[in-house]
């Protein structure tokens, strides 16, 4: 609608319902929680203050590349090796998201990275499910899990995780992913794991086109059968593949601030997000890692608004894209879309009215400053005053 062509404020972005479909559990832990968990379990951290720890994990700071970025997870994973820790960080992540009006979140992590103290893969999944379930009860946020295979660990281990995804289908696990260092670890090496999850009708998404070119995206889609693509930053380098993604409505899980931090793009203004959006790609905005990138969903939207001059109408479409792309059964997704569309339209209409009221007040003040009588012309956006 033409009334929605105003620039949305941070307060408005915070207030609207949102999704976060690409968020890593082990990259989204509160600094205070890391310190407390370390004290509880006797883990030595690289720093014992929040400021020192933030520096140690290059929180929000540019990294050399994706591999350098991933070193921060050595710190977070060191304290996420028992039931209490997994439950707590899952609950707190959902709580933090709900407090900025994220209504639907798909949390991803790799259970095999949490077995150092003898926890079974099944118990690791259940602890996180329990934390998310309690947060849903307390904050009314829908939270599901995506289990991640890891590129730099043997494909046989990812097969075990694929089996885990199938076992917990319809029990809170909604998808399977392939994460980790992209260069030198092609998705095609994990085709058997994805063959298993697809044969069990489990959704799948794959990190691709972040630290490697469009060939990685091609393998994710055509060899592994990905239903969504994590990042997809370098998709623009292959026009034919770009059109295939667009034609088949394959969503991109875009994480702008993270992509700048890992140097997938040199500067936020270089990010292909706006090109993808204008071209018609189903792009969604996501946090990736709230802690490591020092971000929120509100921050991600405001970064896009400020960098690419998005309107409130653009923001509405991006929110809708998020709900359309969620790994939910069709009828649940349609019900959610109807409800969210109505809520968005009500908030947009209210915000547009505020903007129109402010605009009229400003024009009236300008007219009075010029000692002009307040006529129908000075109240209008057109006429002699507007031309002056």
First to last CA, the chain: 28
Average pLDDT over every residue of 72-99? 98
- Residue 364 pLDDT grade (very low, low, confident, very high; cuts 50, 70, 90): low
- Among 106, 126, 182, 210, the active-site one is 210
Helices (H), the chain: 10-15, 31-41, 50-56, 66-70, 73-78, 83-98, 121-139, 155-167, 191-199, 214-222, 239-247, 256-261, 273-279, 297-308, 312-325, 330-369, 384-387
Are the C-beta atoms of 176 and 227 separated by less than 8 Å? Answer: no
Which tens digit of pLDDT belongs to each residue from 247-262?
999 999 999 999 999 9
Average the pLDDT over each of 47-56, 141-150, 361-370 and give the range with the smallest value: 361-370
- For the segment(s) 8-341, the CATH number from 3.40.50.300, 3.20.20.140, 3.40.50.720, 3.40.30.10 is 3.20.20.140
Q: Is the pLDDT of residue 381 over 50?
A: no
Q: Is the pLDDT of residue 118 over 50?
A: yes
Which tens digit of pLDDT belongs to each residue from 294-325?
999 999 999 999 999 999 999 999 999 999 99
- Residue 367 pLDDT grade (very low, low, confident, very high; cuts 50, 70, 90): low
Q: Which residue has the higher pLDDT, 377 or 18?
A: 18
Q: What is the pLDDT of residue 315?
A: 98
Average pLDDT of the chain, as a whole number? 92
- Residue 216 CA to residue 357 CA, distance in Å, equals 50
Q: Which residue has the higher pLDDT, 371 or 29?
A: 29
Task: Specify whether 266 is catalytic.
Answer: no
Burial class (CB in 10 A: 0-12, 13-18, 19+), 238: middle
Q: Which residue has the higher pLDDT, 18 or 355?
A: 18
Strands 18-24 and 252-254, by their bridges, are: unpaired
Average pLDDT over every residue of 62-85? 95
Q: What is the pLDDT of residue 279?
A: 98
Average pLDDT over every residue of 187-197? 97
Q: What is the pLDDT of residue 377?
A: 42
Which tens digit of pLDDT belongs to each residue from 148-179?
999 999 999 999 999 999 999 999 999 999 99
- Residue 78 CA to residue 44 CA, distance in Å, equals 9
Which tens digit of pLDDT belongs to each residue from 268-280?
999 999 999 999 9
- Residue 363 pLDDT grade (very low, low, confident, very high; cuts 50, 70, 90): low
Which tens digit of pLDDT belongs to each residue from 224-238?
999 999 999 999 999
Six-digit token string for 106: 């798909």
- Residue 47 CA to residue 61 CA, distance in Å, equals 17
Six-digit token string for 27: 């990259």
Q: Is the pLDDT of residue 366 over 70?
A: no
Which tens digit of pLDDT belongs to each residue from 317-356?
999 999 999 999 999 999 999 999 999 999 999 999 988 7
- Residue 384 pLDDT grade (very low, low, confident, very high; cuts 50, 70, 90): very low
- What are the phi and psi torsion angles at 230 (to 5°)? -80, 115
Are the C-beta atoms of 292 and 303 separated by less than 8 Å? Answer: no
pTM of the model: 0.91
Q: What is the pLDDT of residue 185?
A: 93
Q: Is the pLDDT of residue 379 over 60?
A: no
Q: What is the pLDDT of residue 360?
A: 54
- Residue 388 pLDDT grade (very low, low, confident, very high; cuts 50, 70, 90): very low
Q: What is the pLDDT of residue 380?
A: 41
Tell me what percent of the residues of the chain surpass a pLDDT of 90. 88
Average pLDDT over every residue of 127-131? 98
- Residue 63 CA to residue 151 CA, distance in Å, equals 20
- DSSP three-state, residue 194: helix
Are the C-beta atoms of 246 and 279 separated by less than 8 Å? Answer: yes
């Amino acid at each position: 609608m033409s009334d929605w062509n105003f620039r949305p404020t941070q307060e408005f972005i915070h207030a609207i319902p949102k999704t976060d479909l690409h968020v890593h559990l082990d990259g989204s832990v509160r600094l205070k929680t890391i310190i407390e968990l370390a004290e509880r379990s006797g883990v030595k951290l690289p720093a014992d203050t929040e400021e020192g720890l933030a520096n140690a994990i290059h929180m929000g700071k540019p990294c050399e590349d994706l591999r350098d970025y991933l070193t921060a997870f050595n710190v977070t994973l060191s304290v996420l090796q028992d039931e209490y820790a997994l439950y707590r960080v899952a609950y707190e992540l959902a709580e933090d998201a709900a407090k900025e009006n994220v209504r639907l979140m798909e949390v991803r992590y790799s259970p095999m990275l949490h077995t150092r103290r003898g926890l079974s893969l099944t118990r690791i999944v259940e602890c996180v499910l329990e934390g998310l379930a309690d947060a849903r009860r307390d904050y009314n946020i829908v939270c599901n899990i995506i289990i991640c295979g890891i590129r730099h660990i043997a494909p046989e281990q990812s097969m075990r995780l694929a089996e885990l995804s199938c076992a917990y289908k319809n029990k809170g696990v909604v998808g399977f992913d392939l994460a980790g260092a992209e260069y030198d670890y092609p998705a095609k090496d994990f085709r058997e794991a994805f063959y298993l999850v697809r044969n069990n009708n489990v959704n799948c998404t794959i990190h691709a086109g972040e630290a490697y070119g469009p060939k990685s995206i091609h393998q994710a889609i055509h060899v592994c059968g990905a239903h969504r693509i994590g990042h997809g930053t370098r998709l623009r380098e292959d026009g034919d593949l770009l059109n295939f993604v667009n034609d088949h409505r394959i969503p991109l899980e875009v994480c702008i601030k993270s992509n700048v931090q890992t140097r997938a793009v040199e500067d936020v203004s270089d990010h292909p997000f706006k090109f993808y959006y204008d071209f018609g790609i189903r792009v969604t905005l996501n946090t990736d890692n709230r802690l490591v990138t020092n971000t929120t969903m509100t921050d991600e939207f405001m970064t896009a608004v400020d960098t690419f001059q998005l309107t409130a109408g653009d923001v509405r479409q991006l929110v809708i894209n998020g709900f359309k792309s969620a790994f939910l059964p069709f009828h649940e997704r349609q019900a959610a879309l109807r409800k969210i569309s109505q809520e968005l339209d009500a908030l947009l209409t209210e915000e547009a009215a505020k903007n129109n009221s402010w605009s009229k007040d400003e024009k009236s003040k300008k007219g009075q400053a010029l000692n002009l009588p307040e006529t129908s012309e000075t109240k209008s956006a057109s006429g002699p005053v507007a031309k002056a």
